[in-house]
Structure 1
Amino acid sequence: MSQTDERPANADPRSTPERAFDWTDPIRELRRLTRPWREGWQRYRNAQLSDRGFQIRAARSFLTRPFARRASRRLFDLTAGFVYSQILSAGVELRLYDRLAERPRTLGEVCASTGLGEDAARRLLRASAALDLVEIDDSDDETLYGLGPLGAALVANPGAQAMIRHHGALYDDLRDPVALLKGETSETALSRLWPYAAGRQPEHEGEAAGEAPEFDAAAYTDLMSASQDLVADEVLSSYDFSWAKTMLDIGGGDGRFLQKVAQRYPAIDLHLFDLPPVAAIARQRLSHARLGGRITVHEGDFFETPFPGGYDFVSLVRILHDHEDDAVVRLLTKIREGLKPGGIVMVAEPMAGSRHSAPVADAYFGFYLLAMGRGRARTPKELGRLLNAAGLYRVREIPTALPVATRILLGELPRRSV
C-alpha cells in the first residue's frame, strides 16, 4: 500500500483522504467534494420512494401524479421487458412490419400473410400497437392496421431486424442470469457462435486451448454486415479521414464499411483484415461490388498473423469491446508497431459512461458479452488508458450524433518518441 492510501486504524472508512484539487478534471473533483451532500440526498430520496404511504400520496396529488405514473410505468417496463422483446421478435419473424409498410391491412389480410388465426393475429397487432410498432384505425366499419412510428424506424433498419432474429441465442443464455453471472454456465450459445470467443487461441496465459468449434461463417458475416450500416454512416458523418493514404480495417467482415469509405474517399488505399473464412466471403462479395476492386483483403488471426505494414490509419469498428484488457493492449501494440509515425487508430463502438449510451453499452452489451464469454463495454477514459499502454497518445473523442449506436475515439502514434 502506498503512503497516500494509508490512514489511521480508527479512521472512518467512508471518509475521503485530503488531497489537492485536481484542476485537470474539475468536474470529477467537484463531484468528489459534494459527495457527502449527494449521499445524504440519496438516502432521503430512497427512504421516501420506498415508503408505501409516500407512494400513495404522490399518486393522488395532482402535483406529483405525473412523476409517479412515469416512475410506475418505467418500473413495469423493466418487469415486462422480456415480453415486449418477444412481441417484437414475433412481428419480425412473421414479417408483419414489412407487410404493413407496404400499406395498411385488414385483420383477414394479416391472418393470410402470417398464417395466424384471427385471435392470435389480433393479439399480436394490439400488443404491437401498445409498443408503437403498429397503429390501429377503427374509424370505419372495417379496422385497418398500419405501421406505427417505431415500426417504421425498424423497417428502415435491417441491421436491427437481423439482431432481433439473432437474439434467440442470447435469450437461451440469459434463461438463468444468476448462473451466468456466477460463471456456472459451462458453455453458451453465443460462445459457440462467435469464433474469436470460442475457437481462437486463448487470450490469457494458462487458459486451456480447446478444439475450435465449427461456426457458420456466412451467418456470422451476414449478421455483422447487416448491422454495420448505421455505425458506418455515423463514423463517416462524424470524422473526416480524407488525409489518410493507406487504411487498414481490422475485423472488417465482408467489407461493407470499407465500400462506404471507398465511395466517400476515392484516393485512400484500402485494406481489410479478418479471419480466413470471413476473408474468403469478403473476397467473393467484393468481387461483385462496384468499388470492391479498390479493397485488398488479408486473412489471419489478428493476434498472431502479421499485418500488412505502412498504413497511416487503422479502424477498429466494434472490435475492442469483444476482448479483455490484456488482449486489447496486445492487439493495439501490434497495430502500433506497423503504424507510420503520426498515424491514427480509430476505435468506433458503443461505449459506457454516458447516459445516452449506458442502456446499450452497460446493460445490453454488458450481458451480451458476458454470455459471449469475454469482453466488456468501456468508457472513453478506460479505452484511452489501453491506447496509452500500447504506445498511442493524444487520445481524443470525436462527437457523434447517435452515441447510442457508436462513439469514436482516436489515438495517435507520435512522430517522435515520447
Structure 2
Amino acid sequence: MGFMQDLTPATLDNNAIESAEDLSSIAFSFMASKALFTGLHVGIFSLLADGPKTAKELSEAADVPLNRIVTLTTALASVGLLSNTDDDKIKNSPAAQNFLSKTSKYDFGDYLRYQIDQQMYPFLLQLNAVMKGELSEDAIASYRHWMADEEQASVYSESQHAGSLGPGRTLARTVDLSHAKTLLDVGGGTGAMTISLCNEYENLEATIIDFPNVAEIGWGFVSEAGLIDRVRYIPGNAIEIQWPGNQDAILMSYLMSGVPGDDVEGLLTKGFEALAPGGKLMVHDFMVEENRRGPALAALWQLQHMAFTPDARSLSVGWLTEMGKTIGFEVETVDNLIPAMTKLVVFSKPA
C-alpha cells in the first residue's frame, strides 16, 4: 500500500510522461533527427537561405527528384524546421535560417551533419551490447583509438570546431581571465575554445594537449586565427603525458565525459598540480543535477558517450564539486554554458 502511495500524482516527477502520444514522441524522435541530417546533406536550408522556393524549384536546385523533396520538406515542416508562405512556397524557420544555412554567421550545420550524423548517431547502435557487456573489445571506440584514425579524427575535429566556436565565445565572456598569462587547454581539440579565449584576452598564451592527428588539424585553425605566436600544441594522450606546470588557467571542455570514469579524479588531481597558486580550473561538460532528473540533453549526451566509452561516468554537478574540494580546490562558480545541455564549474587553487 505504501508503494502505491509513492506513485500518486502529487509525488510524480514534473517531467514524467503520461500519454501514449508522449511515449510515441520519444520512440520516433530519431526519425526527426534523421530528417534534419538529411536536409543538411542535400543542402535544403542553404538553398532556402536567399528566400522561399516552390518544391519544384527546390528539387531542381538540389538535384533531387520532386517526390523525395516533397516528402522530406513535409517532414521538416512538421517538426518546425520549415514552413510555408501564403503562396505555398517553402521557407526556412528562424532557427534553420540562423543556424543551419551556410550563409549564416552562426551556422553549425556541418557539426550536425558530420559529427552527430556520421559518427555519434551510429555509435548508439552499440548501446544494447554495452549495457549487457557484450560488445567486443575491437568495437569499443574510445577517443584513444578513435583519434588514432586519421580520417575519423579529421571528421570529428573539424565538425567539433564549428560546434565549439559559439560556446567558446560564451566562455570568454563568462570567466574573467584578465590576470592570467598562461592557459592549458587539456583535450582542447582544434583549439576553438582557446582561440576564443585568446581573442578576448590579448596577454594570454596557451598550450593545447590533444592526440597527434587532432593537433595537426588544430594547428591549421590556430594559424588561420593568426595565433601561431601565442598557441602551441603538445601532441599526446592527456591522461598519460606530463603537463606543463605553473599555469594560471586550465580548461577541460568535453573531456571528463569522454574518458573512463576512473580517470576523472586523476584529471582533477593533475589539474590541481599543474595550476599556479590562485589559478583557475574551468570544467565544461555534460553534467546532470544531483537528483538525476535532468537536464535531458545532458543526460542523453552522457548516454551517447557511454556507447563508445562503456566505463564513462555520468557526471553530476554535486559529485564533481565535492571531488574538487576533496583534492584541495575551492569552488568559485557553477553555471550553465549551453542552456539545458552543458554546465561550467570554475575551481580555484588556494593562493
Name structure 1 gaps, 5 residues minimum: 1-35, 49-68, 201-211
Among candidates 395, 398, 404, match of residue 334 of structure 2 = 398
- The 1-side partners of 2:333 and 2:4 are apart by 34
Change (3 A) 1:312 1:290: same
| Correspondence 1:14-413 to 2 at 5 A | 42-45=6-9, 71=19, 73-137=21-85, 139-140=86-87, 143-155=88-100, 157-159=106-108, 161-166=110-115, 167-175=117-125, 177-186=127-136, 191-192=140-141, 195-196=143-144, 198=145, 216-353=152-289, 358-389=295-326, 391-400=327-336, 402-413=338-349
Amino acid corresponding to residue 282 of structure 1 in structure 2: G
Provide TM-score, normalisation by structure 1: 0.73
Amino acid corresponding to residue 385 of structure 1 in structure 2: E
Provide TM-score, normalisation by structure 2: 0.85
Amino acid corresponding to residue 112 of structure 2 in structure 1: M
Q: Secondary structure at the match of 1:244?
A: coil
Change (3 A) 1:369 1:396: farther
Change (3 A) 1:188 1:297: same
Partners of 2:278 and 2:350 within 8 A in 1: yes
Amino acid corresponding to residue 368 of structure 1 in structure 2: H
- The 2-side partners of 1:261 and 1:324 are apart by 28
Q: Secondary structure at the match of 1:216?
A: helix
Name structure 2 gaps, 5 residues minimum: none
Following superposition, the deviation at residue 47 of structure 1 comes to: 12
Cα deviation per residue 1:193-234 (whole Å; 9 max; x = unaligned)?
x532x369xxxxxxxxxxx66663322321221211132122
- The 2-side partners of 1:199 and 1:128 are apart by 32
- The 2-side partners of 1:173 and 1:370 are apart by 6
Q: Which has the higher contact order (CA 8 A, sep 6+)?
A: 2
Number of residue pairs matched by the alignment = 341
Change (3 A) 1:145 1:280: same
Following superposition, the deviation at residue 347 of structure 1 comes to: 0.2
- The 2-side partners of 1:402 and 1:46 are apart by 31
Following superposition, the deviation at residue 40 of structure 1 comes to: 6.2
Following superposition, the deviation at residue 115 of structure 1 comes to: 2.6
Cα deviation per residue 1:55-78 (whole Å; 9 max; x = unaligned)?
xxxxxxxxxxxxxx9955433311
Q: Secondary structure at the match of 1:397?
A: strand
Q: Secondary structure at the match of 2:240?
A: coil
- The 1-side partners of 2:99 and 2:314 are apart by 24
Change (3 A) 1:107 1:404: same
Change (3 A) 1:113 1:199: closer
Cα deviation per residue 1:301-335 (whole Å; 9 max; x = unaligned)?
21222112221210111111112332111122222
Partners of 2:243 and 2:274 within 8 A in 1: yes
- The 2-side partners of 1:256 and 1:301 are apart by 19
For the aligned residue pairs, the C-alpha RMSD in angstroms reads 3.1
Following superposition, the deviation at residue 239 of structure 1 comes to: 1.9
Partners of 2:248 and 2:279 within 8 A in 1: yes
Q: Secondary structure at the match of 1:101?
A: coil
- The 1-side partners of 2:97 and 2:192 are apart by 24
